[in-house]
């Protein structure tokens, strides 16, 4: 992942990651990995990036609740 769209979480992403980890009762590190993976996947083809965090959280929530 050398040309990753996601490197270190900015404060807005970090807030979303921590809130999501608390909501689904999972470790922050686990949620951050899933968030990074999904954020990168979604941002590759996104023309409008305003809702990437919301969409990424939805994907991570679905993925980690299984």
Give the span between the Cα atoms of 33 and 57, in whole angstroms. Answer: 12
- Percentage of the chain surpassing pLDDT 70? 86
For the stretch 12-39, pLDDT in tens is: 899 999 999 999 999 999 999 999 999 9
CA angle 2, 34, 50 (to 5 degrees): 80
Cβ neighbour number for residue 36 with a 10 Å cutoff: 21
Per-residue pLDDT at 51: 94
The domain locations on the chain are 11-65
**What is the reported pTM?**
0.83
């Amino acid at each position: 992942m050398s040309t990753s769209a996601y490197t270190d979480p900015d404060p807005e992403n970090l807030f979303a990651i921590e809130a999501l980890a608390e909501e689904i009762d999972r470790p922050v590190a686990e949620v951050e990995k899933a968030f990074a993976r999904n954020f990168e996947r979604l941002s590759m083809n996104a023309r409008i990036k305003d809702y990437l965090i919301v969409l990424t959280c939805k994907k991570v929530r679905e993925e980690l609740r299984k």
